Amino acid sequence: MKMHRQFINRKEHLICDALDGFLRSSGGANLARLDGYPSIKVILRTDQDPALVAIVAGGGSGHEPAHAGLVGAGILTAAVCGELFASPSVDAVLAAIMAVTGNAGCLLIFKNYMGDRLNFGLAAERARALGVKIEIVIVKDDISLPAISQARGIAGVLFVEKIAGHFAAEGASLRTVAKMAQKAADELVSIGVALSSCTLPGIGREDRIPVGKIELGLGIHGEPGVEQIDYSGARQTVDLMAKRLFGAVRPARAYALLINNLGSTTPLEMNLLTHDVLTGKHGAKIKLVLGPAALVTSLDMHGFSLSLLPLTGQFENALRSPSAVTAWPLVRTHLKPNLIRLPVALKSKALPASKNQALADIVLRACKILLEAEARLNALDAKVGDGDTGSTLALLARHLKAVLPTLPLAREAHFFAAVSSVISRTMGGSSGVLLGILFAAAGHAAAAGATWQKALLAGLEMMMTYGGAAPGDRTLIDALAPALLILSKKGDLPSAACAARAGADATAKMTRAKVGRASYLSAANLQGIADPGAEAVALLLEGLIR
């Protein structure tokens, strides 16, 4: 295994180990986690008043101390943590909701990424079906990409969480809490810059920012920024960011400013940047300052972000109100993590295991192919996304191998349904939800009498319906659709593999992605680079015919 200069053990255990370390050092701060590792990673309060509205937030890990470090009185009731830069699974979000929500209801806050929208959204719908009163607020504060219709959510989400937590602690109704949080989300603006990208554990860093340049508007998952500009000093950088922020924000008499360290910017630099923004052209308009602090990071990215919120009397009171959270450094006692049982509503009856040696052999071969392709797919994804496609699929492969003896292999409909369940528990992110939809729909089709080829094609159609992507949109569908079409007509795996390879190679010539994180990138960033998901499909089918 190639080692990098990071303090990690096995990267597949990194998030769970880090969360337990966080709890062990919490000093009995009324925190616990749900028992459900590794698929369910939820930090929650043990002192929540069930008569108050619960505030649940979260997202991919790698942004510490957000969001687990913000769990406590006055801010979050629970934080749902995904794998590195990947949305938590639907089951994990639902577990958090069901564990902390009382009769007052729950406000679900998440950032505007497809994976979060899908996973948190489906969890909210399932919670409603179970009788939970729930509202959602999606944070879209990044102003660096004005041309896109779906702005990203970045560090400004903390304003929304604090304001929601304040009104919930005051005993406000769910409607009022959601209204105030939505108002903050609507008026909030943020922008970030960096001198370097982040180092992915066990993978490394893509050094795409040359010396003498700074990247403006990059994403918190390491996505390339909207532009690289000449770097001539901290003051000029801050002035440019402030100009764009104040040009986009609603005019107000006073503002609150969040100064966020993206990971490895030193305290000395952060204090200098704070001085520059507060003494700049717009500094007199800023009344409240939050930070400088590392709050919503991007691993070790050498950069920072600024978030601006127009102040009202209510917002100012909410931001100034006391809270009891661990994101600010305190000396704490080593404690064994407290475990709380998963909510009964999440327990489902598993289908009985059954044998089919031929199918078991295919699953094992598929898992081997995905594990061997991990590094290759990560390297490809690092050029157009967050560098985790290979790791995400390898995580699924490891889990499938482990649970294979418990799967119902004798009947295709049951097998497809079981695979969907495994994917939804394991993968997270938009790819996990979409593949879960594919296999769930395939299970329904197989149960209705379709052949396995036709069932998978039906699953693909349902995945495209929910995901909004189609052939030509530069996704895994460009390889999967032609392959499944050939399988449904001819049942010829070699021809399907050839079609998948042609589809994957074609994505390298597509300079515009319509969905996913690649949609944030320019044509220059996409040219000549195949979509990692499409490449994974092609590698899988090619490996199976060998």
Cα(182)–Cα(188) distance, rounded to whole angstroms? 10
CATH architecture type of domain 348-545 = Alpha Horseshoe (1.25)
**Domain spans in the chain, listed from the N-terminal domain onward:** 11-324, 348-545
pLDDT at 517: 65
DSSP codes of every residue in 177-236: HHHHHHHHHHH-EEEEEESS-PEETTTEE---S-TTEEEES--TTS---SEEEE---HHH
pLDDT at 349: 65
**Alpha-carbon distances, residue 403 vs 121, 350, 360, 406, 407 (angstroms):** 28, 12, 11, 5, 7
Strand pairing class (31-34; 199-200): unpaired
Q: What is the 3-state composition of the chain as percent helix, strand, coil, each rounded to the nearest 5?
A: 45, 15, 35
pLDDT at 331: 28
Confidence check: pLDDT of 333 > 50? no
DSSP codes of every residue in 37-103: TTT--EEEESS--TTSPEEEEEEEESSTTTTGGGBSBTSBSEEEEEEETSPPPHHHHHHHHHHH--T
H/E stretch holding 34 reads strand 31-34
Give residue 516's pLDDT band: very low, low, confident or very high (50, 70, 90): low
* Segment 108-135, tens digit of pLDDT: 999 999 999 999 999 999 999 999 999 9
Q: Please tell me the CATH code under which domain 11-324 is placed.
A: 3.40.50.10440
How far out from the chain centre does Cα 116 lie?
Answer: 6
Q: Which two tokens stand for residue 36?
A: 């459900």
Q: Contact at 8 Å (CB) between 51 and 170?
A: no
pLDDT at 348: 60
How far out from the chain centre does Cα 40 lie?
Answer: 14
- Which residue type is seen at 355? K
Asked whether the domain spanning 348-545 has the same topology as the one spanning 11-324, the reply is: no
Cα(386)–Cα(384) distance, rounded to whole angstroms? 7
How far out from the chain centre does Cα 414 lie?
Answer: 29
State the average pLDDT over residues 165-192: 97
Conformation bin of residue 291: beta by default, left when phi > 0, alpha when psi is -120 to 50: left
Query: Peptide bond before 310: cis, by omega within 30 degrees of 0?
Result: no
Catalytic residue among 221, 302, 399, 414: 221
Provide the 8-state DSSP code for 338: P
Confidence check: pLDDT of 327 > 90? no
Q: Contact at 8 Å (CB) between 414 and 351?
A: yes
Average confidence score pLDDT of the chain: 90
The residues, ordered by sequence, that sit 6+ positions from 26 with a Cβ below 8 Å of its Cβ are 326, 332, 335
Q: Contact at 8 Å (CB) between 318 and 183?
A: no
H/E stretch holding 257 reads strand 255-261
pLDDT at 381: 86
Is 63 assigned a catalytic role? no
Confidence check: pLDDT of 105 > 70? yes
H/E stretch holding 108 reads strand 106-111
Q: Contact at 8 Å (CB) between 153 and 110?
A: yes
